[in-house]
Structure 1
Amino acid sequence: MSVSNYNNLSIKGKFDLYFRRLISTIADLRLAIILLLVIAIFSITGTIIEQNQPINYYQENYPENPALFGFLTWQVLLNIGLNHVYTTWWYLAILFLFGSSLIACTFRRQLPALKSAKIWSFYHQSRQFNKLAFSAEITTESLNIIESILNKKGYKVFSSDNSIYAQKGIAGRVGPIIVHIGMIIILLGAIWGAFSGFFAQEMIASGNTFMIKNYLEAGKLTNLEKAQSFQVKVNDFWIDYTPEGKVDQFYSDLSVINKQGEEVKRKTIFVNQPLRYKGITFYQTSWSISGVKVQLNNSPIFQLPMAELATENQGRIWGTWIPTKPDLSEGVSLITKDLQGTMFLYNMQGELINAIRPNMPVEVNGVNLKVLQLVGATGLQIKSDPGVPIVYFGFALLMIGVVMSYVSFSQVWALQEGNRFFIGGKTNRAQVAFEKEMYNILEQL
């Protein structure tokens, strides 16, 4: 458009022009590919970098000196939002822009292509066959014979006077539209999940009942009342070990308790086998030792808390201090590395006194000490993502659309000019198979 013509446009005309240019830019296939690559890169980043962890986790694993790749420190990571990639404003903005590109491309390209494919297009001159990928002049008695053969080949045939138009594989034109719809639904599901889901973690000792409270992340539209409508009891927690003494698998026996105190669901969970209830999923992710039950002489059994001790990457150990006098002036330290039962006692000078197992009495500081049981704690990752069913539905449509897109859209024309007959056709894919089909038609003629 020239400058003079542009200046003569009204404000509404200029707005329409800018809008059309914007839609044209958004519908550009190159932009869609770039956005898809950007989404893939950041999605991979969210997989590599652990998400929704405490700040001290990132401080330990992404220190300032030396910085990862020379620039990625925990501060940079938190400022950008790489600790919760999938719910950052910029990631959601990219999803929205990509969805807008798909919608624009669907209305500007795919729907017009489908509409064009459904239009009956007859050839009325023999020279029109010259532009087809396959064409021939044939000898036959009438167009009715050609129409009969095309019908047997699965074509939908339209006739008009001395001309025939036939097509099949219209699903191949619908397929890309279904693909776009499926991808748009997937994006909507991801965005809805980001705004209405939540992520929480709990460390609960065996035998305790809890309500979800430790939310690490929750969307602005999240319905937290649903998560507060029930409690979960950890009936038991145990660990299976390999013959070498390494952890093989850890299990949690969980019960869902409603507000009336009734058990409505029970399941033993382990890694990759979660408990699901009301759209909330409980994953088994970690474990710890929360306490130890002890008895001194004939005293009542009492439970002491245990804490995980820093070992500078030398393995996990837990410890506690057991008083042996009422005034707490003397006591021993109890150390253990797992729930298998072997524990070590140290005096106040840090010297090893004895190695013991549960229910094994030992005399310490003039008292009879008996460690009855180590109390394990289960680490649960709790997640609610209402967008998952939407994503699954969109993915199913995407797969259906991809299969449909592989269907070839073929068109065949036939024309009678006096005593001369012409036939030709074209297809959008599987050219070799289409030519074989056309040669077969010619042989029948």
Structure 2
Amino acid sequence: DHVYSSTWFLGLIAWLGLALILCSWRRQWPALQAARRWIDYRSPRQLSKLAIAETRLCPDGAEGLAKLTTVLKVRGWQIQTQQDRLAARKGVAGRVGPLLVHTGMVLLMLGAVWGALAGNRLERFLAPERSLDLLNRNGDSQLEITLQDFRVERDPAGRPEQFRSVLALSDSAEPQEISVNHPLRHRGITIYQADWALAAINVQIGRSPELQLPLQTYPELGDQVWGLVLPTRPDGSEPVFLSLESEQGPVAVYDSDGQALTLLRPGGPAQEVKGLPLRVASVLPASGLLLKRDPGVPLVYLGFAVLLLGGGLSLIATRQLWAVASDGQLHVGGLCNRNLAAFAQELPALLEEVQQG
């Protein structure tokens, strides 16, 4: 159950993180720098070698470049013009996306490793009015948690549907309620409603006062079976076994041979067992609390946010376009890092708009 803090797992995480950093440094960062750097193509021959190239008649080269500049600016392109040529680009932010994706993954892994190495996890069962003290590294009390109330909500068939615990914290004036899927976060500690159990049973034997006796689980009898062995004689002889599966009862009573003697209802009347009146006053349930402190959670959330942002930016196509006016013709060529077919359809439409304008 410690796979995420094992040496081999942390080694794989470090290996993956190093691979992402090296990939970003050797591929993504140079690609971003190249996208931000203006490249000056001077001749039509250079443009003809690009992935997309078009040539249109243009008697007045200066006017054609001016119209193309206007159309591109309207569509959100960045323009750099020369005497008889221009360069344009759009969607440079798309080159930032892969860098952010890698950065987010590294942050996510750092947060996960930090939480695995520096986090704490504690599982405890608390009965109502019982407390749990959390100590810091110096042995001083950091937080005291008291269970004020615990309820098991059941469906008409008696199956548990929800568990609710009311907790009193030593540094909080108001009690806080937690339930399954609704934890409490307090000072970096998350308290989950994780389980339930039966802690004790209150019984009355004859005319004795009510006795609170602890219950223990019996896995050999079932997944959720609690019980205790109760002697019926002063010398401890003739014991009976009390067994129950929920705080609502019933409590089954068996003799030492395993023969069923009777059923007792919590809060019901006493019944004679081995010559003694035996009454079950109540059953005390216990709340199963899971306490977790994970200092890496903020870093994991930040990593996810950066990862999502980078993934969104990565969808933006980075487009580059060049135009050269020469000998009564307008030569246009372009590059695109994704969806080249759409760019190939857009370029002729763009030139048609220039000629019509």
Q: TM-score, normalised by structure 1?
A: 0.74
1:211 aligned counterpart, secondary structure: strand
Residue in structure 2 matching 1:180, options 94, 97, 102: 102
* Aligned-residue offset at 1:238: 2.4
The answer to which structure has the higher helix fraction is 1
Residue in structure 1 matching 2:69, options 138, 142, 147: 147
Unpaired runs of 5+ in structure 2? none
Residue in structure 1 matching 2:247, options 328, 339, 347: 339
Match runs of 1:309-328 below 5 Å? 309-311=218-220, 314-328=222-236
CA distance in 2, matches of 1:226, 1:191: 26
Structure 1 stretch displaced more, 326-335 or 117-126: 326-335
Residue in structure 2 matching 1:109, options 7, 27, 41: 27
Is 1:96 aligned with 2:18? no
Amino acid at match of 1:191: V
Closer/same/farther in 2, CA of residues 435 and 265 from structure 1, 3 Å limit: farther
Alpha-carbon displacement from aligned partner over 1:213-265 (angstroms, at most 9, x marks no partner): 8xxxxxxxxx656994111111122222232232223222222223xxxx445
Count of aligned residue pairs for this structure pair: 349
CA distance in 1, matches of 2:346, 2:37: 23
Is 1:267 aligned with 2:267? no
Amino acid at match of 1:311: E
The answer to which structure has the higher strand fraction is 2
CA distance in 2, matches of 1:253, 1:390: 30
1:273 aligned counterpart, secondary structure: coil
2:209 aligned counterpart, secondary structure: coil
Match runs of 1:229-240 below 5 Å? 229-240=142-153
Residue in structure 2 matching 1:191, options 113, 129, 135: 113
Unpaired runs of 5+ in structure 1? 1-82, 214-222
CA distance in 1, matches of 2:231, 2:182: 41
CA distance in 1, matches of 2:35, 2:352: 28
Cα RMSD for the two superposed structures: 2.1
Q: Is the 8 A contact 2:183 2:191 kept in 1?
A: yes
Closer/same/farther in 2, CA of residues 107 and 332 from structure 1, 3 Å limit: same
* Aligned-residue offset at 1:330: 4.7
* Aligned-residue offset at 1:266: 2.7
* Aligned-residue offset at 1:189: 0.8
Is 1:134 aligned with 2:52? yes
CA distance in 2, matches of 1:88, 1:326: 54
2:317 aligned counterpart, secondary structure: coil
* Aligned-residue offset at 1:401: 0.5
Residue in structure 2 matching 1:437, options 346, 349, 352: 346
Q: Is the 8 A contact 2:134 2:141 kept in 1?
A: yes
* Aligned-residue offset at 1:348: 4.2
1:229 aligned counterpart, secondary structure: strand
CA distance in 1, matches of 2:69, 2:257: 102
Q: Is the 8 A contact 1:202 1:212 kept in 2?
A: no
CA distance in 1, matches of 2:128, 2:318: 63
Q: TM-score, normalised by structure 2?
A: 0.91
